[in-house]
Amino acid sequence: MILPIVAYGDPVLKRKALSISEDYEGLEQLIESMWETMYHAHGVGLAAPQIGKSIRLFVIDGSPFADDEDATPSDQLVLKSFKKVFINAEMIAEEGDDFSFTEGCLSIPDIREDVTRPSVIRLRYLDENFKERVEEFSGLAARIIQHEYDHIEGVLFTDKLSPLKKRLIKGRLDKISRGMVDSDYRMKFYTKSKKR
Ligand code: NI
């Protein structure tokens, strides 16, 4: 089922999400719906808070990024088959050289900005069968995970921009939160206007 994607401005995107247990009701169906929603919106990742659920779950299919102009040969190799479900992820380490990459977010349509992050991460998570994994990721694979991981920590890529950049895009962010944006997928807006 394709779900509406929560837009910038909804407090659920700022909340630190909670871990889930194996008996979380409807988990299999939820993961299926998240894949469907992500592909429909042409995203490479989707985190549960973006469909309004504050739980530590995100899905990633990085294969479209294999063709990105910034993808190195090793990125291309990894990304081609980089399709994973991440449950209860915990970042163990972020290291390596910082690198800059232009990020976007399905919850923040039409805004793309360069974000600098460390290039190597080590992550502990459960896969869709609740099997624990500890893995190291680098390059663009690490980058996509860092972005989605931030979502379950209540952080958006726009939070990482310089004060100047933040000031420059503030007007556009306000418009998104009020629903004044076009997207080719369904979105859900948190409108304060209800209280007026
Ligand atoms: Ni995002």
Q: Which of 95, 136, 148, 153 is the catalytic position?
A: 148
Domain assignment present for 195:
no
| Amino acid making up residue 150 | D
Round the CA-based radius of gyration of the chain to a whole number and report it: 16
148 is catalytic: yes
Å from CA of 129 to ligand 1 middle: 24
| Amino acid making up residue 100 | S
Domain assignment present for 50:
yes
Q: In which element (H, E) is residue 99 found?
A: strand 83-105
Cβ atoms of residues 135 and 145 within 8 Å: no
Domain assignment present for 156:
yes
Domain assignment present for 144:
yes
Residue 60, domain CATH: 3.90.45.10
Distance CA 170, CA 131 (A): 41
Å from CA of 175 to ligand 1 middle: 18
Å from CA of 149 to ligand 1 middle: 9
Q: Tell me the per-residue pLDDT of 62-114, one tens digit each, with 9 for 90 and over.
A: 999 998 888 999 999 999 999 999 999 999 999 999 999 999 999 999 999 99
Domain assignment present for 22:
yes
* Domain hosting residue 29, numbered range: 5-187
Domain assignment present for 132:
yes
Domain assignment present for 194:
no
From first to last of its 196 residues, the chain has per-residue pLDDT tens of 999 999 999 999 999 999 999 999 999 999 999 999 999 999 999 999 999 999 999 999 999 999 888 899 999 999 999 999 999 999 999 999 999 999 999 999 999 999 999 999 999 999 999 999 999 999 999 999 999 999 999 999 999 999 999 999 999 999 999 999 999 999 999 975 554 4
Distance CA 83, CA 47 (A): 14
Domain assignment present for 193:
no
Kindly report the pTM of this predicted structure: 0.95
Å from CA of 156 to ligand 1 middle: 7
The tally of domains found in the chain comes to 1
Cβ atoms of residues 45 and 58 within 8 Å: yes
Cβ atoms of residues 72 and 40 within 8 Å: no
Sorted by sequence, the CB contacts under 8 Å of residue 115 that are 6+ apart come out as: 100, 101, 102, 103, 157, 160, 161
